[in-house]
Each structure stands twice: as structure tokens, then as C-alpha cells.
Amino acid sequence: MPRSSSEDERLTWRKARRSMNNGNCAEIAASIGVIAVRDSKDPHGPVLRYPVASWTSFLATARNGDFDALH
């Protein structure tokens, strides 16, 4: 179910430590059973939401290098 922007504003958003000095990054926030993702340059823009299990799988795949050949 989509959430309102006021709910998104109450989330605690964070960036990766390596991107703190760069304005071009994604921010994530955890909610009950969901990971929210947004563009740090557009904090009032769209928010993508993923089930925690899907987000965890994505991170494991990225850490494993499975996306490295896509560039």
C-alpha cells in the first residue's frame, strides 16, 4: 500500500558512508517490513519500497559481485 509523503518525512533517512560528500546518492530508510529508497537530490520526490527479504537479497547479490559485469 502506498504511503503518504508525511509518513515518508517521519522516516530516518541515511546515505552510504562513502557518499556523504557527494550529492548524487540514494538514501534508505527502514520501516516495518519494508526498506524505502529515494534520491537524495529529490527528498520530496518518489520513494521506492522493497520487502526486507528482497532488499537483503539485492545487497547479498551486489556484495557477491554479480552486478559487476553490467557496466
Whether 55 maps to a domain, the answer reads: yes
Query: What number of other Cβ atoms are within 10 A of residue 61's Cβ?
Result: 11
Q: Which three cell numbers stand for residue 46?
A: 518518489
The model's pTM: 0.76
Residue 22 resides in a domain: yes
Average pLDDT by consecutive 10-residue portion of the chain (71 residues)?
61 81 83 93 92 95 89 65
- Predicted local distance difference test score (pLDDT) of residue 70: 76
Question: How many domains are contained in the chain?
Answer: 1
Structural domain boundaries enclosing 27: 5-64
Residues 25, 70, 26: CA angle, nearest 5 degrees: 10
Burial of 23 (0-12, 13-18, 19+ CB in 10 A): exposed
